[in-house]
Structure 1
């Protein structure tokens, strides 16, 4: 898809709806524009800060048993002490 954009006196451009849909962005979202070589840019959705909900459970290994608070504290203590 090729689109020609007009630059306003304030240096702004408006992307066509089809382009925004292809990027997967909507009003209020942010995009990143990166200069990749002279005269060429790459446009993509800006990465949003990670949310806690996305982090919860990411370290869980299938089949691994759950650790108690005491076990977690002992692992942390050994880590801070430089023990393995």
Structure 2
């Protein structure tokens, strides 16, 4: 556990070990969720990436493409418990 002291201005300074543990650096942002019982949850805001960086992240090993109709049929069959494994 790391203990921090509140300044007269109502601020706290996170110690180096806390910053390193959370991967926080200069200019980074964090969100704090206020929770019941005088608790809070701190979350580091990740870097945003361009949408193009996600292209190709799900590989299709068969190389086969499927129509919307085929996809809908597979969904319906899965829901009905008739899907092939």
Band of TM-score, shorter chain: 0.5 to 0.7
Give me the whole-angstrom Cα distance separating, in 1, the residues matched to 2:61 and 2:24: 34
Matched residues, number:
69
Once residues 46 and 15 of structure 2 are traced to their aligned partners in structure 1, the CA distance between those partners, rounded to angstroms, is: 21
Report 1:1-84 matches (<5 A): 2-65=1-64
**What is the TM-score with the length of structure 2 in the denominator?**
0.59
TM-score by length of 1: 0.59
Residue by residue over 1:14-55, the C-alpha shift from the partner in whole angstroms, topping out at 9 and shown as x without a partner, is 100001111111111111211232211111211333433431
Query: Which segments of structure 1 move beyond 6 Å, counting only runs of 4 or more?
Result: none
Structure 2 unpaired stretches of 5+: 73-85
